Structure 1
Amino acid sequence: MDVKAIREQFPILDQEVNGHPLVYLDSSATSQKPLPVIEAIDDYYRKYNSNVHRGVHTLGTRATDLYEGAREKVRQFINADSTMEIIFNRGTTIGLNLVAQSYARANLTAGDEIVITPMEHHSNIIPWQQAAKATGATLKYIPLEVDGSISLERVRETVTNNTKIVAVGHVSNVLGTINPIKEMAKIAHDHGAIIVVDGAQSVPHLQVDVKALDCDFYAFSGHKMCAPTGIGVLYGKKDLLNKMEPVEFGGEMIDFVDLHDSTWKELPSKFEGGTPIIAGAIGLGAAIDFLSDIGMNSITKHEEQLVTYAMAKLSSIKDLTIYGPEKRAALVTFNLKDVHSHDVATVLDAEGIAVRAGHHCAQPLMKWLNVSATARASFYLYNTEADVDRLVEGLLKTKEYFGDVF
């Protein structure tokens, strides 16, 4: 993988921040966008901006072909059976909420169980809290191992015949834990439950095959995988989606409207009311082309090497605590002793290094870690070992600065 050539496709990386060359280590929050994606969006607005599915004029036909072409690219990228199983929306949060509001509320009753984990992003906690309150179901948590991983033994102990939904992130946005989704899906199905997967941190970095995983629903966001903000995908097995009712109503998702009743179009239209995110979907299609040309396995291998290098370098810094298992995705979450993570991020920013600091929308996990906040460096296909070295240098300067202060 030619990282130098890849970096040249990301114009934002070629700049200085606070007098230093930018080191962007916050791709878990949002990735940067390559030229092919920027150009695809620009082309849409310059050459064929039009609404989709509605007009018969040339611009509308071109826009519709590109929009639906992006859906087919998503289908191939995650190996779904049909484009009917690909629902476009605004992002992972919307996809998870759709399942919680439509499927969960229609299928749960008092005494049923929803099983999740303490490492979930708030987007994969709050919808299930609300579904449990609305239906009388019980919310249960799979206990984490000491290193922040999940053992299948604990899954088997937690999931019962009363469990109707298991909802879990494929990759933790804090710990980098890669969860055993395929095995968890089998346990869920053996008990008659479905499994809902938050793929926000996995689809950009791993080769995801929804059929091999046998997940029932899988949600992810475009903006973390080189696509624009505001576009996301919910994959769902067709038989489940067909039985679900839409939760948003309006134009395009209807088949027939009478004065007192309406009927819905077939999948995926019934879940895509109103004017869709056309430019976003086209940008997502361009991002998938870009990632596919490089190869997801090559991206994964590059990130594995990079995070191994980063773990070794960061572990050598005295008074720095790293959270999460040894085998992890491409991120490292840490704290410096006696220095708040926001202060760490502020000093690093002064050196041109962008990292995330705070609770990362994972407050239950922060409580489990017994911290209020952490700093996180997350890597992607455009990062290098030189970026890690700059991070280490910045952390040493942070230690020196606060050592002088205290």
Structure 2
Amino acid sequence: MRARIGKGAPSPPGDAVTSTEALIAAAEAHTPHTYHPLPVVIAGAEGAWMTDVDGRRYLDLLAGYSALNFGHRNPRLIAAAKAQLDRVTLTSRAFHHDRFGAFCEQLAELCGMELVLPMNTGAEAVETALKTARKWGYRVKGVPDGRAKIVVAGNNFHGRTTTIVGFSTDLEARADFGPYTPGFEIVPYGDLTAMRAAVSENTVAVLLEPIQGEAGVLVPPAGYLAGVRELTRERNVLFVADEIQSGLGRTGRTFACEHEGVVPDVYVLGKALGGGVVPVSAVVSSAEVLGVFRPGEHGSTFGGNPLACAVALEVIAMLRTGEYQARAARLGEHLHGELRQLKDTGRVTAVRGRGLWAGVDIAPAVGTGREVSERLMERGVLVKDTHGATIRIAPPLMIGEEDLDRGLAELRAVLGA
């Protein structure tokens, strides 16, 4: 049975009287079928818990694919947003505003970089990084015009624009959207030999997720990221790290690259940077790299807007303490220890991940990832499946150990372990 709303939990809005079934039917009648969400309709949320229109509570073990690293309606982030709402929300980049400089300075400092180019969504940030790499290749490296090449990894997920899906190996993401943008070469993820063979004199960048999230939380072999870093330095190629899901505390470090002592040339950030309040993304790099842009060559009306900067500044302040990174490391060790025990039962075939992030492959005899997600939903726990057999676990970093154990206990029950 799904858990009922408890004392102190957020209540659904007073006018949320329409049934779950009717709300789902209305949504499906008026939007294309680009998602297959679980049959739950959320009306309120706080911390690691969400409440549906019927007042049932659910433990959130997905955290908006890492967009909610600090939990739902984190008081510090909501306060920052409310204060900014009373001042100014948008100026466009046609004018300066009083939060922009501090945001760029502090994010650059957090990353150990010099310049920040803010955007809104993760896909926009990836597109910005691709444009940056090509322009740097032509203006700084001296690649002949129109010949720039970017190497990417198989099973990648960097967004859903036409350019990005063109170098995806996921047929669902790619099919029927061609013709595709040229200039990309795909090599197997984790294969340093293949990467070395693919990098040529016209290669301007290697674009990688330090941990592949959508693919099922795939962690590369030890030494892979360090090897890519060495190769890119040797060949004068930019190492672009897509830390949209893996960054900002999720893996127990500020950035997942840190687990191998790697600092890329370019960070691509998003999701948690907006604190689950507003969409905020950014490309962060050196002056040599981002300094290639001139006025009019790239931009965004909403990128770096005052409201986004106010929230992101609070996110940066929270990360500076190291509290969330340490918490993700400590609870992540506990999470993976418990999941390894599940693997020993034979109900789970593989467990991957780092920090408070895990991909769990469900044994075929137990069911599909979707079926397990639905069974967990019925027991008051929300996760999401990917690629058929896998469920992803990524709770807010502020989750209590007791709540995490509750979620794991429900998973054990659903698996019959």
Q: TM-score, normalised by structure 1?
A: 0.70
Change beyond 3 A, Cα 1:349–1:209:
closer
Write the distance in 1 (CA, Å) between the matches of 2:339 and 2:256.
Answer: 28
Write the distance in 2 (CA, Å) between the matches of 1:122 and 1:184.
Answer: 18
Match of 2:239 among 190, 195, 201: 195
Partner amino acid for 2:309? A
Write the distance in 2 (CA, Å) between the matches of 1:49 and 1:202.
Answer: 28
Deviates more, 1:178-187 or 1:348-357: 178-187
CA shift digits 1:44-70 (9 cap, x unpaired): 112455637767xxxxx8xx2223222
Q: CA deviation at 1:354?
A: 1.1
Match of 1:30 among 53, 61, 67: 67
Write the distance in 1 (CA, Å) between the matches of 2:204 and 2:198.
Answer: 12
Write the distance in 2 (CA, Å) between the matches of 1:124 and 1:184.
Answer: 25
Equivalent residue, structure 1, for 2:212: 172
Q: CA deviation at 1:42?
A: 0.7
Equivalent residue, structure 1, for 2:25: none
Match of 1:72 among 105, 109, 112: 105
Could you list the runs of 5+ residues in structure 1 that have no partner in the other structure?
1-6, 56-60, 145-149, 246-263, 360-371
Q: CA deviation at 1:198?
A: 0.4
CA shift digits 1:83-118 (9 cap, x unpaired): xx1011013211111232454387476776432212
Equivalent residue, structure 2, for 1:100: 130
Q: CA RMSD in A?
A: 3.8
CA shift digits 1:171-192 (9 cap, x unpaired): 2212241674444122023123
1:341 aligns with 2:378: no
Change beyond 3 A, Cα 1:290–1:389:
same
Change beyond 3 A, Cα 1:337–1:379:
same
1:89 aligns with 2:119: yes
Write the distance in 2 (CA, Å) between the matches of 1:111 and 1:129.
Answer: 20
Equivalent residue, structure 2, for 1:354: 382
Equivalent residue, structure 2, for 1:382: 398
Percent identity (aligned): 12
Write the distance in 1 (CA, Å) between the matches of 2:112 and 2:248.
Answer: 15
Q: CA deviation at 1:204?
A: 1.9
Q: CA deviation at 1:134?
A: 7.2
Equivalent residue, structure 1, for 2:39: none
Write the distance in 1 (CA, Å) between the matches of 2:132 and 2:351.
Answer: 35
CA shift digits 1:187-227 (9 cap, x unpaired): 02312322221011232222349997442321111436735
Helix, strand or coil at the partner of 1:123: coil
Change beyond 3 A, Cα 1:19–1:184:
same
Equivalent residue, structure 2, for 1:240: 289
Structure ranking higher in helix proportion: 1
Deviates more, 1:97-106 or 1:166-175: 97-106
Write the distance in 2 (CA, Å) between the matches of 1:324 and 1:210.
Answer: 17
Write the distance in 1 (CA, Å) between the matches of 2:219 and 2:389.
Answer: 18
Equivalent residue, structure 1, for 2:14: none
Change beyond 3 A, Cα 1:131–1:122:
closer
Change beyond 3 A, Cα 1:50–1:158:
closer
1:220 aligns with 2:264: no
Q: Does the 8 Å contact 2:123/2:161 carry over to 1?
A: no
Q: CA deviation at 1:231?
A: 0.8
Q: How many aligned positions are there?
A: 343
Q: Does the 8 Å contact 2:211/2:256 carry over to 1?
A: no
Write the distance in 2 (CA, Å) between the matches of 1:125 and 1:45.
Answer: 31
Write the distance in 1 (CA, Å) between the matches of 2:278 and 2:291.
Answer: 28
Helix, strand or coil at the partner of 1:347: helix
Equivalent residue, structure 2, for 1:369: none
Equivalent residue, structure 1, for 2:348: 320
Match of 2:151 among 99, 115, 120: 115
Equivalent residue, structure 2, for 1:42: 82
Write the distance in 2 (CA, Å) between the matches of 1:394 and 1:286.
Answer: 34
Q: TM-score, normalised by structure 2?
A: 0.69
Q: CA deviation at 1:24?
A: 1.5
Change beyond 3 A, Cα 1:47–1:340:
same
Q: CA deviation at 1:337?
A: 1.9
Change beyond 3 A, Cα 1:162–1:393:
same
Write the distance in 2 (CA, Å) between the matches of 1:124 and 1:158.
Answer: 24
Change beyond 3 A, Cα 1:285–1:227:
farther
1:207 aligns with 2:254: yes
CA shift digits 1:4-42 (9 cap, x unpaired): xxx9xx934356568765322103343134110011001
Partner amino acid for 1:226? G
Could you list the runs of 5+ residues in structure 2 that have no partner in the other structure?
1-8, 10-44, 169-178
1:274 aligns with 2:304: no
